[in-house]
Structure 1
């Protein structure tokens, strides 16, 4: 009987789930090499493919992956289902983009788009959210300016494949996917988002 380590099991699982949930080919062509561990407040750890409420995901998570302290990374979180999986006319909606992250120290990276959690529309049903980590060749000079949280134009139709090709990054090193749908917390979260960003 073949015995897998926890890391090998996680790797196989995240690859399988990304294919089953059609993240491949909707977002990326190849699955990530490993699971990106995401821990939200109250010690909520994301289980790939599962459903979470917008309130549970409102603050930036802590991330864990096999990082090389001497390397730089790009972190992307997006939703391919904007405004809904049936009608993804804004695919993909960018929820978070940090580049030039030294090792795993996200706080020391260059912020292009601040984190904001899932805010699915009332009749959108279940929406997928994909988080990816890419290894950079070195510290890079990114042309993109920091995005305004309130600007839909900045965040809609973000093409992660084009972005990573532009900066010569390979397939994602680590990744995770989860789902969320509208609940009563969304209007309050939207109000909080726009009040904070003014």
Structure 2
């Protein structure tokens, strides 16, 4: 199960691979609602899979209001039959005006680091507006996670870890998820924040 904060409900995942992909979807911020195994597609006349069926892993409603089906399958596990199944599903989605994508995985270290960040995605980890502005100011040009925490909470640096991680989750701070994640990890005020504050 994955806690989907936008709806304050859980999304059922059939495997850890699916849970990792849901984590990335959550971080991406383009999916508003997500349903697990929402429907079955029965392939009929004109399909190369006549008589077969397929249950996509997820149905997504995106933030622009559009819908789409998502399947999770590592690239190395996509055989000829699965490829055909995905092609036929994409054709049906196209006819419905829906999106379709096969989620094939991410870098293992980046996923592990994102999982660490996700522990601070909840509202309870939000810094005050004043603290958030201070962190954004200090992180211009880049600061290590340890430095940021010591600067914004000198009496108790560990308290600030949740704040800076929450801001990285919300993409207010840039961080290289593919690098080793520790107190020396560099956080930088995101370019989009620079642009937004300059406007």
* TM bracket, shorter-chain basis: under 0.3
TM-score by length of 1: 0.22
TM-score by length of 2: 0.22
